[in-house]
Amino acid sequence: MTFRRYLVLAVVALTAPLGDTLLSLGMKRVGPVSLNHLSTLIHAVATPDILLGIALLICFFASYLASLSWADLTYVLPATSIGNVIVALLARFWLNEQISPWRWFGILLITAGVGFVTQGPSYTEGENACPVGGTEASRL
């Protein structure tokens, strides 16, 4: 895999937890929002934390789509699982949320399960075929 592909996977792994954490931070500052009062929802979306969170989630989605264009889902999705650990760390140390030992254990189990999945065969690494109409140089 090329450096650019690793970079795209790193963007996938980091932008989702950061975006989700910023959304949580913003909504804690805004307070309860009801779909019956759209003005409060619009006000919430206009706050800086939430706008930055949305922008990071758009970056996540764009990089996720890009990575799925050249890699198997079973290769890309485990790369996103580190987000579970990052979200827990951000929630604990940035948002000061209390995380029970059972939740930490659950995160450990998810991470271990992903570790087992990544040991399986991957068709992404051995893939030499180019996209329709593309050349090897046009691929990431």
Domain annotation covers residue 66 = yes
> Which is higher by pLDDT, 129 or 44?
44
Q: Which domain holds residue 76?
A: 3-121
The answer to whether the CB of 91 falls within 8 A of the CB of 22 is no
Pull the structure tokens for residue 110.
Answer: 């998810």
Domain annotation covers residue 45 = yes
Say yes or no to pLDDT of 120 above 90.
Answer: no
Domain annotation covers residue 132 = no
Give the chain's domain count. Answer: 1
Domain annotation covers residue 128 = no
pLDDT of residue 126: 53
Task: Out of 21-25, 28-32, 44-48, 69-73, pick the least confident.
Answer: 69-73
> Which is higher by pLDDT, 3 or 126?
3
Domain annotation covers residue 134 = no
Pull the structure tokens for residue 51.
Answer: 């706008």
The answer to whether the CB of 105 falls within 8 A of the CB of 53 is no
Domain annotation covers residue 138 = no
Question: pTM score > 0.85 for this model?
Answer: no
The answer to whether the CB of 50 falls within 8 A of the CB of 118 is no
Report the C-alpha gap between 43 and 64 in whole angstroms: 29
Domain annotation covers residue 116 = yes
> Which is higher by pLDDT, 140 or 72?
72
DSSP, residue by residue, 1-39: --HHHHHHHHHHHHHHHHHHHHHHHHHHHH----TT-HH
Give the C-alpha distances (Å, rounded to integers) separating 120 from 12, 95, 125. 21, 36, 12
Say yes or no to pLDDT of 26 above 60.
Answer: yes
Domain annotation covers residue 50 = yes
Residues 67-114 have pLDDT tens digits of 999 888 878 888 788 888 899 999 999 999 999 999 999 989 988 887
